[in-house]
């Protein structure tokens, strides 16, 4: 695989998304088909990148609301388990708190699709309080 010099992870993700953009060979496929068409290393980089970018920008709520959690949870857990690092174990613990609240396997329909199990008051309180993000904010202090 020929990749430009620099950050391997970023290069893999950028190369994959270039294939999915207008004019790319995967332009017309769904997000699930997009992941299926990637080689294993690139797929891992994209899934980890999605978690990193979504949680970093808007927390776990954004990761769920934009459809990534529902369609990538199973693969993400497998990747993190195989990584077997202190950080991957902490991340597994955190996503385990999100998992019961979402519909696993829901098709990614983009922002604000139907990904949450229900819209109860407790669910809204979870989203407002953002307990996972508060926990993560303290992990580096």
The answer to whether the beta carbons of residues 64 and 116 sit under 8 Å apart is yes
pTM, two decimals, is 0.77
pLDDT given at position 70: 85
Which residues, in sequence order, are bridge partners of residue 102?
116
pLDDT in tens, the chain (141 residues): 454 556 888 899 999 999 998 888 998 988 889 999 999 999 999 999 999 999 888 888 888 888 888 889 999 999 999 999 999 999 999 899 888 888 777 777 666 667 777 655 445 555 555 555 554 444 433
Please name the residue ranges forming H helices in the chain: 8-20, 31-37, 40-65, 68-83, 86-98, 121-129, 131-137
pLDDT given at position 121: 45
Measured distance CA(91)–CA(81) in Å, rounded: 10
Q: What DSSP state is assigned to residue 116?
A: B
The answer to whether the beta carbons of residues 60 and 133 sit under 8 Å apart is yes
């Amino acid at each position: 695989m020929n990749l430009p010099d620099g950050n391997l992870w970023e290069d893999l993700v950028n190369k994959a998304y270039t294939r999915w953009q207008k004019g790319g060979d995967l332009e017309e496929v769904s997000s699930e088909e997009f992941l299926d068409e990637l080689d294993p290393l690139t797929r891992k980089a994209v899934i980890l990148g999605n978690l990193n970018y979504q949680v970093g920008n808007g927390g776990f709520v954004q990761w769920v609301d934009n459809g990534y959690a529902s369609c990538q949870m199973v693969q993400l857990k497998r990747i993190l388990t195989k990584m077997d690092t202190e950080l991957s174990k902490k991340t597994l613990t955190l996503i385990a708190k999100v998992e019961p609240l979402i519909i696993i396997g829901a098709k990614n329909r983009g922002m604000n699709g139907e990904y949450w199990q229900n819209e109860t008051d407790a669910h809204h309180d979870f989203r407002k309080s953002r307990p996972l993000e508060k926990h993560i904010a303290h992990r580096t202090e």
